[in-house]
Amino acid sequence: MKKTYNYIVFFIGLAVFTAGLIAFSTQSQATYGQEFAGLEKSFISPENSLVVKAPQKEAAKRIKVVITAYSSCPYETDSTPFITANGSEVKEGIVANNLLPFGTEIRIPELYGNKVFVVEDRMNAKKGYYHVDIWFPSKEQAVKFGSFRTYIEVLES
């Protein structure tokens, strides 16, 4: 009987702790004051470990650009359509730009909020410096994206 009681107390305590953790992770940052400013919500990862994301990088500058999209079609790229100008394989989050150095992190807040993109590819020189191309896995997705005039935030390195 005592062993069963101990298990019940343990599981009730675990449930209360879990409920508190969930409540903490779903409340806004403002509720907790400035000591949590810049931190994103905590969550339980698939490995059941507590993970806290690093503070977001600040924008060093804003640049007005044209945003378009491209895919890995040979006629849109060169003879190695799945390899960027930086030598890496294409993947989500890669952008092409002729102004910024390889590895530069940018955000496109009006279109993607806080999502971070990395410059790893170049464009045809006739596109100029103030043009950013986002890589998409298919031509259909790139065409559907279209084009926008907006600004990018170049993040501090």
List, in order of start, the domains of the chain with CATH numbers.
2-51 (no CATH), 59-155 (2.40.40.10)
Which DSSP symbol is given to 64?
A: E
| This prediction's pTM | 0.63
Tokens of 113: 């909020």
Tokens of 156: 């501090």
Q: Is 114 exposed, middle or buried (0-12, 13-18, 19+ CB in 10 A)?
A: exposed
> Tell me: the pLDDT tens digits for 90-123?
999 999 999 999 999 999 999 999 999 999 999 9
Binned at pLDDT 50, 70 and 90, residue 1 comes out as low
Backbone angles phi, psi at 67, to 5 degrees: -110, 125
Which DSSP symbol is given to 81?
A: T
> Tell me: the pLDDT tens digits for 14-62?
555 555 545 544 444 444 444 444 444 444 445 544 555 556 788 889 9
Q: Give pLDDT, residue 17.
A: 54
